[in-house]
Structure 1
Amino acid sequence: MSTYNFDKVIDRRGTGALKLEALQPRYGNAHLLPLWVADMDFETPHFITDALRRRLEHSLFGYTVEPPDYRPTIIRWINEHHHWDVRPEWLAYIPGIVKGIGMAINVFLRPDEKVVIQPPVYHPFRLTPEGNDREVVYNPLLPLEDGRYAMDLDGLDRLLDADPKCRMLLLSNPHNPAGIVWSPETLRRLADICHRRGVLVISDEIHADMTLYGHRHTPFAIVSDAAAACSITFGAPSKTFNIAGIVSSYAIVPNDTLRRRFYRWLSANELDEPTLFAPIATIAAYRYGEPWRRAMLSYVEANIDYLIDYFARHLPAIRPLRPEASFLVWLDCRGLNLDHDALIDLFVRRAHLALNDGQMFGPGGEGYMRINVGTPRAILSEALERLRRAVDSQ
C-alpha cells in the first residue's frame, strides 16, 4: 500500500491557482497565506495523474464519447459508500455544481418564482439565483447551544404556506460552512414539507465522501419516496480527490418527469457532454481512490484536532465548530468583540491571512470566519501562530 505524504508543501505559484491569483483583487494583498478557497493543498493522487498522463501520450484531443465504464464506476462508488442504488439513466454529467444550480433555476422556475436557502450557507446559493434574476428567500438555520445548527423546519412550513412563489430549495448536504451531516430524520421531514407543496429540492452533495469522526452521509433522495420524487442531487469527486480544476460533476434525478425535463434541456445545449479529461479523472478516483481517501481524511481529522486544541490553549475567544464532514472549519470569532470591518482587519492586515468571512454566508454568519484545513500541518501551524500574534498585539 502506498504511503501518502500530506506534509509535502506544494508551491502553487505559476499554476493559475485561484486561491493565489485572486488574493490581490479580492483582499488587496497578494502575499497573504491563503486558507479560503475550498480546494486542498495536497497533491492530486498519483493514480489520477497517471491516468491523465497515459491519455496525454496519445496527442490527439478531438471529440470523444462518454467511456462505457464512466457510469458504472460512479454507481458502484455511490452504492458502496452511501447505499444508494442509482440507475444509469438517472445520471448525467454537468459542467459544475454551481452551474448546475443555475441551469436548474432556468429550467424549472418562472421569472417571478423564488428560491429558498438556509443561511448561513455556501454563498453561491444566494449569488446564483440573484444573478439569474430570481428572488432569494431566507429560512435561517437555528443556532444551538453547542455551536451547531438545526434546520428551522417549522419556520419553513410557515414560509412555504405564506408564499406559494417559493418553488425551489437549495440544500447543502453535508452543510457548508458548518460541516453538519444532516440526519435522515431531518432530511425526511424536509422532503415531506417540500414535496407536499411541489417545491423542488436541489441537494448539493459535493462533500458527501468527506465525512469525519465516524459520521455517515445520507443522500437526500434515499430518505423517502417523497424525497426521490422532488429532488435533483449534484455530486462530484472534485473535493475529495482535489481535482476541482477538472470539472467532473454529475446530476442524479430519480423522478422521471423531472429527469426528462432537465436532461432534455442539458442535451439540447450539449451541457451533458463531459470534457475529455473529466471521465478519466472520475473513473480513476472512484476505482483506485479509497485508500487515499481514508488516509487524507485521517490527516484532515488530525489537523482539525490540532486546530481545536490550539484555540483552546492560545485563543479561547475563538471557538471552532468541529465539522462532521469536509476540510472546512467554521470559527466563531464573536468572543473577540470586533465588528465586521475590525475582524477582517485582524485577519487580513494584521495576521496576513486570507479566510472567508462569515458575513458572505448570509444572516447568522456575522462574527464568524471559515478556514480551510486541507493543508500541510506546517502551513496550518504558521497560520495559527500568525493569528495568535495578531490577537495578542491588539
Structure 2
Amino acid sequence: MNWNDCVVRTGTHSVKWSSIPDPNEIIPMCIADMDFQVAPEIMQAMVKKAAHGIYGYTTFCERYYLSIIQWWKKRFDLDIDKEWISFSPGIIPGINILLQILTKPGEHVIVQEPVYYPFYSSIENHQCKIVQNSLVYKNGTYEMDFADLEEKASDPKASVLILCSPHNPVGRVWTIDELNRVAEICLKHNVWIISDEMHGDLVYKGNQHHPLFAVNPKIKNQSIICAAPSKTFNVAGLQTSIIMIPNKDLREQYQQKLIQFGLMRPNVFGVEGTIAAYESCEYWLEELLVYLEGNLQYVSNYFKTKIPEIIPIQPEATHLIWLDCSQLGMKGEELFQYFLNEAKIKFDEGYKFGQNGDSFVRMNIACPRERLENAMKRIEEAVKSVKHK
C-alpha cells in the first residue's frame, strides 16, 4: 500500500473535496474520511460485485454476521450474539431512530461537549432538551466531570446519555474505570446509554478501546453500541453501520422502525465491503495506524517547534486532532475564516462541537505526508501574519 500516493479526489462527488471553492488552492483538512485508497481486498470485492451486473435488493447473510462477531472478539475480546446486530445506513440515522423510541418531547438527552455536532441536531429532531455534561479541559487533555454527570442524570427528565467512545473531537480513549463510573451513574438513575464507538479501531499505541458492554455487564440491557467499518477502512460511502442492541424489547422496536421507514435493506455493495474488510483487511488497518502515528508525530513536533501558539490536543485515537488556537485571539467563525482565507486550509469549525470549542478547530491528518507538510507550512505562515498584525 502506497500511503504517500496523493490520489485525486476532485470530480468524484467527494463531500470533503466538493466543499471547497478551489481544490487547486485550498487544502481540505475537514470531514472525517481519509484520502487513502481502501485495501485491495475491498476493491476486489466491489469489482466482483459490480461485474455481476445485477444490483437488486440486498439482504444480510451468515457470513456478514460472522465477520462482525469475529472482528469484535479478536480486537476487543467481546462476545456478541448475532441477535444483537441490527442495521442502519449510518450511525446518526441509527441514533435518531433510537431517540425516537427512547425519548418523549421535553425529556433531557445528555452529551459531553465538545462533541460530534450531529448529536445536537439528532436531539433537537425529537424535541428533547440538550443537556451538557461538559468535559473538563485540564493540563492539555480532557476529563469527564462525574459530579456534574451525576447531577444531570439524577434529573427525572433525563432519559439518554449519548457517549462518544473514543471521543470525537478530543481524541480520548476512555479507561475501564471511567466507563464503569458512567455506567454505574446511568444504571442508578435509569438513563439509557447510546455509545458511539465508530472510532474504536483507530487507537494509537499505549491505549486500548473498551466496548461499553465489556466494562459492566449490567449495562448491556440499558445501552446500545453503534459502530461501523466506515472510519476504520474508509468506506463510509457504503452506508452500512452496525447497531448492537442486547435488550430484546428495544431491539424489536428498533427493527420495527426500520421497516416503517423502509430502511431494512443494506446498500448492494455494503455487505460485500463489510465482509471483505473484517475478514481480510486487519493487516491494512495495522499499516494505516503506523502511518497515522507518523503523521501525528510530525504534526505535533511541527506545532511544538515552529507554531507554539497552537496547542494540539494529543489524541489517543481517531485520525483527527483538536487544535487549541486560543492564543491567536480569534474565536468561532472568525477563526475558521482566518485559516480558510489566510492559510488556504479548511478545518472543521470548533464552535460547532459546543460552546467550549470556540477557540478550537478540528484537523484531519488522514492524508499523504506531502499534503500534510504543505498544510503545516501554510498554517505557520498564517500564524506569523497574525503575530505581525
TM over 0.5: yes
Residue in structure 2 matching 1:230, options 195, 208, 222:
222
Q: What does residue range 1-394 of structure 1 map to in structure 2 within 5 Å?
A: 4-24=1-21, 31-145=25-139, 147-161=140-154, 163-394=155-386
Q: Deviations over 1:45-80 (max 9, x none)?
A: 111010010111111112233122000110000000
Give me the TM-score of the superposition, normalised by structure 1. Answer: 0.95
Instruction: Judge conservation of contact 1:23–1:30 (CA < 8 Å) in 2.
Output: no
Q: Tell me the SS of whatever aligns to 1:393.
A: helix
Aligned counterparts of 1:167 and 1:29: Cα–Cα separation in 2: 44
Amino acid at match of 1:165: K
Shift of 1:344: 2.2
Shift of 1:208: 0.5
Instruction: Judge conservation of contact 1:20–1:30 (CA < 8 Å) in 2.
Output: no
Q: Tell me the SS of whatever aligns to 2:355.
A: coil
Instruction: Judge conservation of contact 1:95–1:272 (CA < 8 Å) in 2.
Output: no
* % identity of equivalent residues: 36
Instruction: Judge conservation of contact 2:114–2:353 (CA < 8 Å) in 1.
Output: yes
Aligned counterparts of 1:359 and 1:67: Cα–Cα separation in 2: 42
Aligned counterparts of 1:254 and 1:306: Cα–Cα separation in 2: 42
Q: Tell me the SS of whatever aligns to 1:175.
A: coil
Amino acid at match of 2:281: G
Instruction: Judge conservation of contact 2:173–2:317 (CA < 8 Å) in 1.
Output: yes
Q: Tell me the SS of whatever aligns to 1:176.
A: coil
Instruction: Judge conservation of contact 1:346–1:391 (CA < 8 Å) in 2.
Output: no
Instruction: Judge conservation of contact 2:200–2:209 (CA < 8 Å) in 1.
Output: yes
Q: Tell me the SS of whatever aligns to 2:357.
A: coil
Name whichever of 152-161 and 367-376 sits farther off: 152-161
Instruction: Judge conservation of contact 1:92–1:272 (CA < 8 Å) in 2.
Output: no
Instruction: Judge conservation of contact 1:139–1:156 (CA < 8 Å) in 2.
Output: yes
Q: Tell me the SS of whatever aligns to 1:364.
A: helix
Shift of 1:363: 2.3
Amino acid at match of 1:128: S
Name the CA shift for 1:331/1:106 in 2 (closer, same or farther; >3 Å). Answer: same
Amino acid at match of 1:263: Q
Aligned counterparts of 1:112 and 1:344: Cα–Cα separation in 2: 33
Instruction: Judge conservation of contact 2:57–2:265 (CA < 8 Å) in 1.
Output: no
Name whichever of 260-269 and 189-198 sits farther off: 260-269
Q: Deviations over 1:133-190 (max 9, x none)?
A: 2221111011122x111111111111222x2111011010000001100011111111
Shift of 1:393: 2.1
Give me the TM-score of the superposition, normalised by structure 2. Answer: 0.96
Aligned CA RMSD, in angstroms, stands at 1.5
Name the CA shift for 1:345/1:66 in 2 (closer, same or farther; >3 Å). Answer: closer
Amino acid at match of 2:36: F
Shift of 1:341: 4.2
Aligned counterparts of 1:215 and 1:92: Cα–Cα separation in 2: 28
Instruction: Judge conservation of contact 2:336–2:361 (CA < 8 Å) in 1.
Output: no
Q: Deviations over 1:70-99 (max 9, x none)?
A: 001100000000111000001012110011
Shift of 1:266: 2.4
Instruction: Judge conservation of contact 2:108–2:157 (CA < 8 Å) in 1.
Output: yes
Shift of 1:345: 3.2
Amino acid at match of 2:232: T
Instruction: Judge conservation of contact 1:23–1:31 (CA < 8 Å) in 2.
Output: no
Aligned residues: 386
Amino acid at match of 2:61: P
Aligned counterparts of 1:64 and 1:207: Cα–Cα separation in 2: 27
In structure 2, runs of 5+ residues without a counterpart are none
Shift of 1:278: 0.7
Shift of 1:21: 1.4
Shift of 1:131: 2.9
Instruction: Judge conservation of contact 1:140–1:363 (CA < 8 Å) in 2.
Output: no
Aligned counterparts of 1:193 and 1:304: Cα–Cα separation in 2: 34
Q: Deviations over 1:334-368 (max 9, x none)?
A: 12222334422320111011001211110221211
